[in-house]
Amino acid sequence: MSELCVLLEVNLRWSPYFWSFLTIVNGKIPGHPPFIVNGHVEVVDGGLYFDGITAFLSTRLVPTNILSDPDMAKEGLAFGIKLRFDETAKEYDTPRYVLDTEALTSGGKTGVSLYVLNGKLIGMIAEIATSSMKWKAEINLIYDKWLYIIVNWKPTSGLFIALDGFPKSSDPKGSPVTGLQPSTINPNFCLGRNVGGAGFYFTKFSLASLVVFKEFLSDSLLYPVYSYYHSN
């Protein structure tokens, strides 16, 4: 077991959920839960390629899952994602989704959204919504190389985005909202497009891995998480 793996096990309260996107088995990405493959998706050059036209992955989360209902994440939540964009992303003038449980899609749901918008100026945007608050942070994108993005959130600390192990952006205070509820759509968790299917919001990119933590990550864990999962 590597020193990085030991460090993470010692400092994390709960085991994370991990998906590798290097293998498709009977039309699914193995994991808990598995993702169903939709459209033109193929394993190419160290990751799963999404064509930006028809490709997305979908699954169903239970209503109490922290990605669908962040109110359940009393210790916060975080996820790390290894992905790569080409310069097509610079032309997106509408939100193009990497990960979505409807935090942005409907405006009336709790959840998490990670999307690209105005790639020339903004790039990657993360939003997290509880029943009473919403947070939003954004970073500039780098193209044609593998990136490791960590989205890190706790209601008492706010929302943070780290790129390749280093903090880049934050929204510590958030904005008040009222009456948001978890999504009731099935599927309610998509990679590569928005939940619900409305609009043309597919994203062209490559995806290597996703890990979800059931807790907020301290600053001292950001670089170890990047180092371990970027290479595994």
pLDDT tens sequence across 83-128: 999 999 999 999 999 999 988 755 678 999 999 998 777 789 999 9
Exposure string for 44-71, b = 16+ CB within 10 A, e = fewer: eeebbbbbbeebbbbbebeeebbbbbbb
Query: Contact, 90 vs 96, CB < 8 A?
Result: no
DSSP 8-state symbol, 209: E
Exposure string for 162-194, b = 16+ CB within 10 A, e = fewer: bbbbeebbbbeebeeeeebebbebebbbbbbbb
Query: Contact, 136 vs 159, CB < 8 A?
Result: yes
What's the CA gap between 56 and 63, in Å, rounded? 21
Question: What is the structure's pLDDT at 140?
Answer: 93
Distance between the two ends of the chain, CA-based, in angstroms?
Answer: 13
In tens digits, the chain (232 residues) has pLDDT values of 566 665 666 567 777 899 999 999 999 999 999 999 999 999 998 999 999 999 999 999 998 899 999 999 999 999 999 999 999 999 999 999 999 998 875 567 899 999 999 877 778 999 999 999 999 999 999 999 999 999 999 999 999 999 999 999 999 999 999 889 888 889 999 999 999 866 778 999 999 999 999 999 999 999 999 999 998 7
DSSP 8-state symbol, 25: B
Longest dimension (CA), the chain: 46
Domain 3-231 has CATH 3.40.50.720: no
Question: What is the structure's pLDDT at 4?
Answer: 64
Q: State the chain's mean pLDDT as an integer.
A: 91
What's the CA gap between 201 and 180, in Å, rounded? 22
Query: Contact, 84 vs 149, CB < 8 A?
Result: no
pTM of the model: 0.93
What's the CA gap between 20 and 15, in Å, rounded? 16
Whole-angstrom CA distances from 4 to 1, 211, 227 are 8, 15, 8
Query: Contact, 172 vs 161, CB < 8 A?
Result: no
What DSSP element (H or E) covers 177? none
